[in-house]
Structure 1
Amino acid sequence: MYRFERRNQHFDRLVANAGLRWMGQNTNHYPAHPKVREAMVACIEQDQFHAYAPPLGLEELRQGVIEDLGLPDQAALITDGAVSGLYHVCRTLLGPGQSLVTTDPTWAWPMVFAREAGAEVVQIPIYGAEHGYRLAPERLRAMVDERTRLIYIVDPNNPLGTCCTAEEIAEIAAIAKSIGAYLVHDCTYRDFAYGHHLAAHHYPERTITVWSFSKWLGFAGLRIGALVAHPDVLERLAVAPPNNLGSSILAQRGAIAGLKVKREWFGEVLAAQRRSQRKVREAAEALPGFHVPVYPSNGNFLIIECDEAGIRPEALVAALDRRNIQIRQGSYHTKAFGDRFVKVSVTVPDAWVDEFCAALPEAVEVARGMNAPAELF
């Protein structure tokens, strides 16, 4: 069987499992605000889905995104989730003889898109205490050159949970500007951060801010995100976007409602996931050889190092899968460091977190005896 078939069947099995505890994909499983549900139900009941949405998105949503980010001089393009926007940026702006510079670990898919466009991918290792699990701007400066077309920064970093300081973002933006590169600032997890700083304030002419409704609003399955950039950049990106007939009208109506209730609703989500982070950290660090190196995380997830315990991440993932608990192996994000850690998502019901914490000790012992490599995606 082809790998693409095995991969799809793997995720189809997960989706079909009604009892699965989704704790590996950073998805938000807290209940939606009633106003968000009402907006989407009204969209269906009024048959609004028969028509295409505007190609760049509903004007109310585009303006809402700009206001939420605080970038009034920029323009927004609504996309089918952040990943569609990243695909579009990489395939539009990159080509042979050029390079994308990013970190290791990072989110893997933009690197795939860049290579498919014929570009080279350059990764800067940031994993480990020696790097503070973060990108030092001087290390970025040493790795860029005249071929660097895109600098891709996930901030807060997925999977590490570290977040750039105001000074670091200013320096990174200055480096991108000094070589005329585009700076793709992936801010998917900014709403979970203790403090977040937008590069577009320092380098508005060529910063592309990437944002998503998948995580903070819990819309992963509805596929809605945004690219925000200077109108000159967006003029080019608007020529041939993958969703040139507009993103889901249902998702857009829900996203508009979500922005309107964000102030009253999201604070509870943020507080709950931070409590869950504490529970997961305590459960993990009670086990010999286990360590949570980045705490608190600025994302809705934590990494747990298990290499010193002699546990393979894939084995621990497989052991917890037997209990209907899905977490993610480090190799999904990084080949160089993926054998050191697993990632656990925490925007989930308290009961799921409690089940994970209770199941972890026994799962570790089961994983210790699992030697055959498992095919995970």
Structure 2
Amino acid sequence: MRPFEIRNAHFDRLVNSSDLRWMGQNTNHATPHPAVLAAMEKCIRDEEFHIYAPPAGLEELRQGIIDDLGLQGLSALVSDGAVASLYHACHTLLRSGDEFITTDPTWNWPMAFARSVGASVKQIPIYGAEYGYRLSPERLAAAITDKTRIIYLVDPNNPLGTACTADEIAAIAAIAKKAGAYLIHDCTYRHFAYQHHLAAPLYPERTITIYSFSKWLGLAGLRIGAIVADAEIIDMLAASPPNNLGSNILAQRAAVAGLAIRDEWFPAVLSQQRANQTLVKVAAEAISGLSMPVYPSNGNFVVVECKGAGIAPEALVAAFQEKGIMIRQGAYHTPNFGDQFIKISTSVPTHWVEEFASLLPEMVARAHGRNETVKLF
């Protein structure tokens, strides 16, 4: 089988495992608000799926996204999820010979999108105590060249959970502006942060804010997100979007309903996932060699370092997989630092996290000395 067939078959097995505990993809498994379910049910009953949605998205949804971000005066282009937003931005803005700068670790797919059009990719390492697990503006400035076209900032960072301070965002925006580069501010995990600061108000002319409903609202499988930017940029992106016939109308109705009930529903989700982070921390730090370098995380996930325990992340992931629990090995995010950590999603039912925590000592013991040959993705 070709590699893409093997990869797809792997995820097909996961999707068709009805009792799988999804703790590796940062998906939100909180019970939806009744209003969100009602909006989807009405959409289906009214058979709206026969029609195409507006090409840039429902006007109510576009405005709701702008209002949620507080970016009045900018424009929103609804997309088939944040990944589709990133694909479209990279393929529209980059050309062969351009340079795309991001961190290591980062979200990997935009690097693949950049390379696919002939751009070069430069990563700035941020993993490790010496970097504070974050990007310093000074190191970004030193990496800029006259070929830099896009600076891609995942904030809060996936997988580390660090978030930029207001001063750091101001400095990063200034660096991008001086370079004349586009700043893609990927805010997929913004709603989980203790504090979050947008770059767009500081550099509106070339900041592209990436918005997602997959994580905070739990609509990962419905594929709905948006690009928010200056109207001139949106006009350029809207000229040839991959979803020119509109994004999933069922997803858009759910997103509109979700924005309306966010302040009522989301605080309990946030509180539970932060408590789940604490459960993981207590369990991990009770085992010699395990540690949590970023706590609390500003995302709906945590990183646990396991190199000090003398175990390979892949071995630990495979051990949990046998128990029906999906977590992620560090190599999924970074080949350079992936041998040091695992990542666990925390926007899940508490009893999933309790099961993970209770099994952790046994799984660590099982992973010791194990040479894992199972292909992981």
Normalised by the length of structure 1, the TM-score is 0.99
1:349 aligns with 2:349: yes
Give the deviation of 1:304 after TM superposition: 0.2
| 4+ long deviations beyond 6 Å | none
Residue of structure 2 in register with 1:57 after alignment: 57
Percent identity of paired positions between Structure 1 and Structure 2: 64
Give the deviation of 1:275 after TM superposition: 0.3
Cα RMSD (Å) of the superposition? 0.5
Rounded Cα–Cα distance in structure 2 between residues aligned with 1:369 and 1:58? 54
Q: Which amino acid aligns with 2:185?
A: H
Residue of structure 2 in register with 1:146 after alignment: 146
Residue of structure 1 in register with 2:275 after alignment: 275
Give the deviation of 1:374 after TM superposition: 2.4
Rounded Cα–Cα distance in structure 2 between residues aligned with 1:133 and 1:372? 28
Residue of structure 2 in register with 1:131 after alignment: 131
1:311 aligns with 2:311: yes
**Within 5 A, what are the aligned runs for 1:1-377?**
1-377=1-377
Rounded Cα–Cα distance in structure 2 between residues aligned with 1:365 and 1:244? 52
Q: Which amino acid aligns with 2:113?
A: F
Give the deviation of 1:373 after TM superposition: 3.0
Give the deviation of 1:348 after TM superposition: 0.4
Rounded Cα–Cα distance in structure 2 between residues aligned with 1:197 and 1:145? 26
Q: Which amino acid aligns with 2:88?
A: H
SS in 2 for 1:11: helix
Q: Which amino acid aligns with 2:95?
A: G
Gapped runs of 5+ residues in structure 1?
Answer: none
Rounded Cα–Cα distance in structure 1 between residues aligned with 2:362 and 2:95? 49
Q: Which amino acid aligns with 1:110?
A: P
Gapped runs of 5+ residues in structure 2?
Answer: none
Q: Is the 8 A contact 2:318 2:372 kept in 1?
A: no
Q: Which amino acid aligns with 2:201?
A: H
Rounded Cα–Cα distance in structure 1 between residues aligned with 2:261 and 2:372? 48
Give the deviation of 1:365 after TM superposition: 1.0
Rounded Cα–Cα distance in structure 1 between residues aligned with 2:12 and 2:360? 25
**Residues 211-254 of structure 1, C-alpha deviations (whole Å, 9 max, x = no match):** 10000000000000010000011110001111111000000000
Give the deviation of 1:145 after TM superposition: 1.2
Q: Which amino acid aligns with 2:371?
A: N
Give the deviation of 1:294 after TM superposition: 0.1
Q: Is the 8 A contact 2:82 2:226 kept in 1?
A: yes
Rounded Cα–Cα distance in structure 1 between residues aligned with 2:117 and 2:202? 28
Give the deviation of 1:17 after TM superposition: 0.3
Rounded Cα–Cα distance in structure 2 between residues aligned with 1:326 and 1:369? 21
**Residues 263-296 of structure 1, C-alpha deviations (whole Å, 9 max, x = no match):** 0000000000000000001001110100000000
Give the deviation of 1:344 after TM superposition: 0.1
Rounded Cα–Cα distance in structure 2 between residues aligned with 1:50 and 1:372? 48
Rounded Cα–Cα distance in structure 2 between residues aligned with 1:337 and 1:156? 18
Size of the alignment, in residue pairs? 377
Rounded Cα–Cα distance in structure 1 between residues aligned with 2:179 and 2:318? 45
